Structure 1
Amino acid sequence: MSRELAQLPLDLRLRDASRLAEYHAAGNRLARDTVEALGHDSGLTQPQVYLHGPGATGKTHLLQAACHVAHERGERAAYLPLSELAAAPPVAVLDGLERAGLVALDDLAAVVGVPAWDEALFGLLNRLRDAGCRVLMAAPEPPDAMGATLPDLTSRLAWGPVFRLEPPQEDDLRRILVERARRRGLEMPDAVASYVLRHHRRDVAGLLALLERLDLAALAEQRRLTIPFVRDQLGRSPVAD
């Protein structure tokens, strides 16, 4: 693997919480199950998966979760957040990845459309396929909307299954909040969960971060999760809407 990647230890780049069991699939069950199969190297005739969709749909979570699965199988996996690596020479970033069992390319939009990167990605996907390496990719748009300068790169991005991830709906988010509160030993009534959803940004990561803060505050103040208590905590929060 290249010197640039060697300076970024993989274990530090994967969030421990990014596990398949912690992904709230809702309408994305097939995508989640396909990613799991890819991580385990089982059940896929085409060992490449492309995920796209708006923010807060869990694309990064699934890419990192697949890498965790591969690691647990004793395999080498590489997770590349391309938005952080786009300024580096593409050949240096992508060199040697075919020696991994699984390669996860996140934030493709940060580099696709740049001629040098398109050439390098085209070569990489060919090498990965020849080596039998599994590939997982994520971007906001489907392959044919990415604006690649090479038509052949567009076709290679779509070599395997392509899934659009949908954001969780309000009922899904409410269930997530109530269930996660229960795991923490807290009771969150549906009315409180609904209040949170009306007054806080609606993405799973942000809601779970808020729940952690509410848990700590409730413990410190010996309070239950009521609307007045949550209202007070949201008023202190820099991320409250």
Structure 2
Amino acid sequence: MPKQLALGLTLPESTSLESYLPAANQQAVADLAACARGSGEPFIYLWGATQTGKSHLLQAATQLADQVGRSALYIPLDQATQLSPAIFDDLEQMDLICLDGVELIAGQADWEQGVFGLFNRLRERDKSLLVAARCSPLNLPIRLPDLLSRLSWGLCYQLQPLNDQDKIQALSTAAAGRGLALSDETARYILRHTQRDMGSLRQLLRQLDQASLEAKRGLTITFIKTFLEHQTDPQAGGL
């Protein structure tokens, strides 16, 4: 659809509910899936710190809705605000709209009015809306009282970050999906010696996958230690 093309969005194929480890967020994921399918609560507000998977879940919901024959659109407001609130025009024709980063339009009267109008039009037509932000509705610096009230409706979930055991499980699952064997001991080594957020860990796993393929070696602690040393000092020698 034209508006989707205007935003230049391409959702990664790997972004799915199956590739998201819910851990303590199981109920939020279940209700989000029901919303995407059109069988659950039509409005859900997700909030949490960075790297808790807000964008992943909204993108996954968009793809799930499409898979079951519902029209859906994912709008990351960090990109959309480079355009104008006119991007919301006629979106009530869609079955599901996912707005990511709603805190980014706070204090901008035209954008706040645009989201407010979209919310009302979707509700009038019994369509679904998923919203994500870094803070709860109560802490949003939205100036339009009616919009702030609307964003407090429906279900609201604070996404909880993964603990270390959850991250080990996520790494092992992601490695298995690439045909790699990753022991818990090796996963713990990675957590102790690299950045611990899931975005960085997934990026490292992609790099290790390529490096192990080229070196024809498995993901042992020795191999990973050498790889990390090489990343820090390219003159450290081969893998």
Aligned partner of 2:176 in structure 1 is: 182
| SS of aligned partner of 1:21 | coil
Structure 1 position 8, deviation (Å) = 3.6
2:90 paired with 1:96 = yes
Q: Quick one: which amino acid aligns to residue 225 of structure 2?
A: R
Counterpart Cα distance in 2 of 1:109 and 1:235:
39
**Of residues 73, 76, 79 in structure 2, which corresponds to 1:81?**
76
The root-mean-square deviation of aligned C-alpha atoms, in Å, is: 1.7
Structure 2: 5+ residue runs without aligned partners? 233-239
**Of residues 2, 24, 27 in structure 2, which corresponds to 1:27?**
24
C-alpha contact 1:113 1:146 (8 A) present in aligned 2: no
**Of residues 155, 160, 173 in structure 2, which corresponds to 1:161?**
155
Alignment of 1:21-60 (within 5 A): 21-44=18-41, 47-60=42-55
Aligned partner of 1:72 in structure 2 is: 67
What is the CA deviation profile of residues 10-30 of structure 1, one whole-angstrom value per residue up to 9, with x for unaligned ones? xx4212111111111011001
TM-score by length of 2: 0.91
Counterpart Cα distance in 2 of 1:94 and 1:100:
11
Counterpart Cα distance in 2 of 1:154 and 1:34:
22
Structure 1 position 183, deviation (Å) = 3.4
Counterpart Cα distance in 2 of 1:86 and 1:43:
29
C-alpha contact 1:56 1:203 (8 A) present in aligned 2: yes
Counterpart Cα distance in 2 of 1:43 and 1:134:
9
Structure 1 position 132, deviation (Å) = 1.1
Aligned partner of 2:236 in structure 1 is: none
What is the CA deviation profile of residues 96-116 of structure 1, one whole-angstrom value per residue up to 9, with x for unaligned ones? 110000000011121122122
What is the CA deviation profile of residues 146-199 of structure 1, one whole-angstrom value per residue up to 9, with x for unaligned ones? 111012111101211000001100010011112322333322222211111112
2:82 paired with 1:110 = no
Aligned partner of 1:137 in structure 2 is: 131
Counterpart Cα distance in 1 of 2:173 and 2:65:
28
TM-score by length of 1: 0.90
The count of corresponding residues between Structure 1 and Structure 2 is: 232
What is the CA deviation profile of residues 33-82 of structure 1, one whole-angstrom value per residue up to 9, with x for unaligned ones? 011000111133xx100000001111011101111111112221111111
| SS of aligned partner of 2:149 | helix
Counterpart Cα distance in 2 of 1:70 and 1:185:
29
| Residues 1:183 and 1:84: Cα distance change in structure 2 (over 3 Å) | closer
**Of residues 178, 200, 203 in structure 1, which corresponds to 2:197?**
203
Q: Quick one: which amino acid aligns to residue 52 of structure 2?
A: T
Q: Quick one: which amino acid aligns to residue 47 of structure 2?
A: H
C-alpha contact 1:108 1:138 (8 A) present in aligned 2: yes
Counterpart Cα distance in 1 of 2:108 and 2:122:
21
C-alpha contact 1:67 1:79 (8 A) present in aligned 2: yes
Segment drifting more, 164-173 vs 116-125: 116-125
Structure 1 position 5, deviation (Å) = 4.2
Q: Quick one: which amino acid aligns to residue 227 of structure 1?
A: I
